[in-house]
Structure 1
Amino acid sequence: MKKLNKVGKFTLSMIILLFVIEATQLVTKRGSFDIDDFILNIVGALVGFGIWKTKIVQRLLN
C-alpha cells in the first residue's frame, strides 16, 4: 500500500483491478459488464482513499 500513496497511482490501479473484475464477470457469465458498477466502484474507492488519507485516520494508524 505504500506504493499507492498518491491518488493518481491509486486511481490507475483501481481502474485496472475493476476492469479485470468486470471482464471476468462478463467472460464467466456470472454477471454483466456494467459501466454503472464500474463508475460507482471507482467513486467508492476514491472516497475510501480520501478517508484513509485524513489526519484522524493517519493518527490512529501511527
Structure 2
Amino acid sequence: MEKPFMEASELIEEIATNNFQWPNDIINPKKVARIFESNALSIMFAQVAVFSKNLNII
C-alpha cells in the first residue's frame, strides 16, 4: 500500500477518530449471573416441581 505521507496520516487519523464505532469487550463486559440470582431461580423451579407433583396426587 503505497500512499503519500499526508494521505496516510489522514487515513490513520480518520481510523483513530472512528475507533469508537467498533465494539470493545473490555468497555462493555458481559453480565454474569450473580449467585443469589441463580439460587432464586433454582428455588423457584423446585417450588414449581413440588406444586405440579401435588397436583398429580389430587
TM range (shorter): 0.3 to 0.5
| Greater relative CO, 1 or 2 (CA 8 Å, sep 6+) | 1
Considering only CA atoms, is the larger Rg found in Structure 1 or Structure 2? 2
TM-score w.r.t. structure 1 length? 0.39
TM-score w.r.t. structure 2 length? 0.41
